[in-house]
A and B are shown apart, each in its own frame.
Chain A
Amino acid sequence: MDKLLAPEVGLIFWTVVTFLCLVWVMKKIAWGPIIEAIEEREGKMRSELEGAQTARGEAEKIRAQLEQQVAGLQTMQREMLAQATKEGEALRAKLKADAEADAQRVREKTMAELSEEKDKLTRELRKEVAGLSVMAAERLMRKTVDDGVQKSVLEGFFHDLESRKAN
């Protein structure tokens, strides 16, 4: 069994030659096509991945734009609502003021009319009372007083009345 480690130059020679030839032949017929196919597939996968990434970036951009638009619309909506509220508020205040002014005017006018009416009635009442008093006095005295005297007496009476009222 010492032949187990015996050197055989021929076998070494043939092993080296065969193996180197095998490396060359395998490179030509097997590894070349297989590695080429693998690289082609990897290239395709890489380009697909890149495509997918680009598409995703695109989608992200569109989403950001849409979000921006939505945000803009929301801001606008809020502004419009605030504007409308303010306008409504102003309109209400104005209407209220107008109504109050109208009511005030009507009240004042009514008061003025009432006071005028009262004065008129008072005046007429006085005239009537004066007439009646004169008639009563005439009857009482059974004496005819001429119209001139009557008039001057009445005017003096009214004058006194007015001055007393003024006091």
Chain B
Amino acid sequence: MNFEEILAHHLLDHPIASWMIGGVDLGPTKDVVILWIVSALTVAIFGFAARSRTRVALMMRYGIEAVVVYTRREVHIIFHEDADTYLHYFLTLFFFILIANLFGLLPEGASVTGNINVTAALAFCTFALINFAGVKKQGLLSYIKHIVPSGLPFWLVPILFPIEIMGLFAKCIALCIRIFANMVAGHAVSLAFLSLIFIFAASSKFVGVAVAPVSVGMALFAYTLDVLVALLQAYIFTVLTALFVGAAVHPH
């Protein structure tokens, strides 16, 4: 068993069933199932915190409310009067990504945010929301007009328009790749440190045993870092989405 196989086993998706619909396989894979588990977990946790009146639920609720109040204030700064329309989306996005990231750190768990298809889908939702919100607020023509910053010399507009359109795609692609790369890298580093044990053990069992504490320590360090990265990436993805959508709603 080489390192590539180990990585592939831990990081890649595996199909579970095959449902061919219109030439496209919509069958559930490992990551789809985890996606559903994470969603169910999110609903369960927040439903419990929001609706239950037990002590535990109240304590959870205070923690969640702190985040909600903070997010609400930030979203208000970006969106002004439109804040309440989009607040639900950003809150859900943040906690969904956070729980998905943390779920990947559990034993036997895999982080769906380490699959580029999932992050691409989330970035696509952001892309759709940017355009939807822009058109909804300004109307289609005004939105297209405002893609280029106003007040430019007229001969710059034809040059800048394709650049701005490319920028719009680039923003979303960057969102997609940023979180995917961060999550994959975290897992790969942890796995690499642990694999060191077996690589050294292949030459001599004693060396393997000697390397083990160091490897476990480094893997633990990488793992701890992953917890931070999980939080940070959920925050970055949400903040950037909010900024992009905000820029589309209020172009000035």
Do the two chains belong together in a single complex? yes
B118 contact set on A, CB distance < 8 A:
11-12, 15
A19, B184: Cβ atoms under 8 Å?
Answer: no
* B42 on the A face (CB < 8 A): yes
Chain A positions within 8 Å of B135 at CB level: none
Number of interface residues of B (CB under 8 A): 50
* Contact (Cβ within 8 A) A34 B121: no
Interface size on A, residues (CB 8 A): 31
Interface of chain A residues 68 through 87 with chain B (CB within 8 A): none
Q: Could you tell me the dominant secondary structure of chain B's interface residues?
A: helix
Complex CA distance for A15 and B32, rounded to whole angstroms: 7
Q: CA–CA, A10 to B16, complex, Å?
A: 12
Q: Which of B39, B87, B115 has a CB less than 8 Å from the CB of A31?
A: B87
- For the complex, is B169 an interface residue (Cβ under 8 Å from A)? no
The one of A11, A13, A20, A29 in contact with B46, judged by C-beta atoms closer than 8 angstroms, is A29
Residues of A within 8 A of B (CB): 1, 3-5, 7-16, 18-23, 25-27, 29-31, 33-35, 37-38
Task: Return 9 A-B CB contacts under 8 Å, by A number.
Answer: A9-B26, A10-B27, A12-B118, A14-B35, A15-B117, A19-B122, A23-B89, A26-B92, A31-B68
The 7 closest A-B pairs by CB, nearest first: A15-B121, A30-B46, A27-B88, A11-B117, A30-B50, A12-B121, A23-B92
Supplied contacts A11-B35, A30-B47, 18 more A-B pairs, CB within 8 Å: A4-B184, A9-B25, A11-B13, A12-B118, A14-B26, A14-B32, A15-B112, A15-B122, A16-B125, A19-B39, A19-B92, A19-B96, A27-B88, A29-B43, A29-B46, A29-B51, A33-B50, A34-B68
